[in-house]
Structure 1
């Protein structure tokens, strides 16, 4: 039996619960959390004081990395068990099978963090964009963006095992090569015209 890393997608805000359930079930898993410490001056009625605050943010949002053996009959049972867990949306899949994440990518994720992306940086990317990987074991390869998370995480398709493999990659680890087609943005005048037509209909 060969264990590999896979990506489990949780429902929004359920990633921590899913990670705890996977651990309780005996799975090896990875859920990197970035910790930010800050001092904030709070104004009280009589005096002010500095309060230390700690903010924790899951680096990959709703995605959790799972190490398991998913081949064969036993693997099929494991897939069903994980998918049936409360809070789990499913695996990142290629075709109808969970896509393994290369060990080199997991090792890179453990060591490197580009930091939080700004809203302007996140807004540059959209589904259909072609991006170049800037760092890590797949530096220089071109990937296609499938989706963009609000925390600055891209879900991309990268050809690394002879087929398109879906992976979560941070905005800070890629550069835009070619922008995909964007849906047309309706102007204010056209929206008003549409409302008038709807009212007269």
Structure 2
């Protein structure tokens, strides 16, 4: 690990002792703050989901770790950042070969929902769009609604003299 590897912050998966995920995340955030390493280590997350739990006849929402034993770290991989994360109490190592941790792919990051990315669209409700792929490829429709969270667009397509609604991904349509 002689040279700095990359200048772009990527998401890496860090393996921890089971039950130490929150402590590792807290320790890493403290180290980053104290040593002013915000340009190297950008974000630390322990992915959780809310699940219903019934205790004493009462239902309440409880956080459950999606990946017990793992913490996600968005960082610029350098010798210094690798050393800091690797030697944080509770960390057993990075996911990947020991000499070169493997960052998550953009597809994996999207599926995990750890990175919130702004989506800019070239169309709005009421605009005409052309469908680029799928069973309706080549058809032109009118945008009825846009769901940025699900990355879906609702389009009304005129087929065989009838208006037919279709829900498509953002990538399946382009503005006219």
- Under a length normalisation based on structure 1, what TM-score does the superposition of the two structures give? 0.45
Q: CA deviation at 1:29?
A: 2.2
Aligned pair partner of 2:69 in 57, 62, 68: 62
* Corresponding residue for residue 102 of structure 1: 105
Q: Give the secondary structure class of the aligned counterpart of 2:113.
A: helix
Q: CA deviation at 1:65?
A: 1.1
* Corresponding residue for residue 23 of structure 2: 17
- Unaligned 5+ segments in structure 2 are 1-6, 33-37, 115-176
Quick check: which one's helix share is greater? 1
RMSD of aligned C-alpha atoms? 1.9
* Corresponding residue for residue 86 of structure 2: 83
Q: CA deviation at 1:7?
A: 0.8
* Corresponding residue for residue 48 of structure 2: 33
Aligned residues, how many? 99
Q: CA deviation at 1:92?
A: 1.0
Q: CA deviation at 1:54?
A: 3.3
Q: CA deviation at 1:95?
A: 5.6
2-structure distance, mates of 1:107, 1:97? 23
What is the correspondence of 1:142-153 to structure 2 with a 5 Å cutoff?
A: none
2-structure distance, mates of 1:67, 1:52? 35
* Corresponding residue for residue 179 of structure 1: none
Q: Give the secondary structure class of the aligned counterpart of 1:100.
A: coil
2-structure distance, mates of 1:94, 1:19? 22
* Corresponding residue for residue 92 of structure 1: 95
- Under a length normalisation based on structure 2, what TM-score does the superposition of the two structures give? 0.51
